[in-house]
Amino acid sequence: MSKLTNDKPKTNNFQRIRELGYKQQGIISLMLIERMKPNYYLFAHVTDFPQEHNLDNMINTLWERLLVKGAKVSLSAMEDKIELLTPDEHEFDMYGVYPALYFCTAVLSYINGLQSEDDLDTVAVAKISQGCIVHLIEYQADTELDNDAVREHELMQNEMAFLSSAIDFVESLPLKQLDAKSIRQKAIEFALADGVTNIGIEFEV
């Protein structure tokens, strides 16, 4: 997978994320994952990649674990299921396998972080989403680009703007006044409002 860029605007976003509470960081992680999910489904549809487990149900379960006190989830079992849904890049001669891989990597990173509350790392999930964008930009350019070229690309500009606005959204969300269903619904609606994934693929909301 490609390198990540390292620039001041993103560092500011990352610092803002680190200053959020645990539940706020989890919400942003899952928003980023929801925004990447259509990339995976497009790949699975085009290739008929076997879906041995229901991906939507698993992501919904992660929302429940984050937002519902006392929700019981076997993270190790879910990790195993996601690994079964992860394609091998060497078995597919098409670009679409890479966004699918980045999505699965983001989910696994989030699940790994849940193993211990201290290890939850929303910045890692954000970097995976941005790494997916870098990979596409360099794939289309057929060369490795410098940080300035990557940062100024429309897709990366959109991603940084989305992350900033997602942080604003979570900071303004009255978590104590809303039930889990409302929080999840509002967060997903915000994440998918533009009708495009992190790499600009359009989907129906």
Kindly report, residue by residue over 81-98, the tens digit of the pLDDT.
Answer: 999 999 999 999 999 999
Averaged pLDDT score across all residues of the chain: 92
Residue 80 domain flag: yes
Cβ–Cβ under 8 Å, residues 98 and 109: no
DSSP state of 202: B
Residue 201 domain flag: no
170-186: per-residue pLDDT in tens? Answer: 999 999 999 999 999 99
> In sequence order, which residues have a C-beta less than 8 Å from that of residue 178 and are 6 or more positions away?
186
% pLDDT > 70, the chain: 93
What is the C-alpha separation between 78 and 59, in angstroms, rounded? Answer: 10
Whether residue 11 is predicted with pLDDT greater than 70 in this model: the reply is no
Residue 3 domain flag: no
Closest CA to 150 of 134, 131, 136, 128: 134
pLDDT of residue 9: 46
pLDDT band, residue 53 (cuts 50/70/90): very high
pLDDT band, residue 146 (cuts 50/70/90): confident
% pLDDT > 90, the chain: 83
CATH of the domain at 48: 1.20.1590.10
pLDDT band, residue 28 (cuts 50/70/90): very high
| Residue 177 belongs to domain spanning | 8-191
Residue 143 domain flag: yes
Residue 202 domain flag: no
Q: Please give the tally of structural domains in the chain.
A: 1
Residue 1 domain flag: no
Residue 203 domain flag: no
Question: Using alpha carbons only, what angle is made at residue 162 by residues 22 and 201, rounded to the nearest 5 degrees?
Answer: 120
What is the C-alpha separation between 80 and 201, in angstroms, rounded? Answer: 28
Question: Average pLDDT for residues 55-77, to the nearest whole number?
Answer: 94
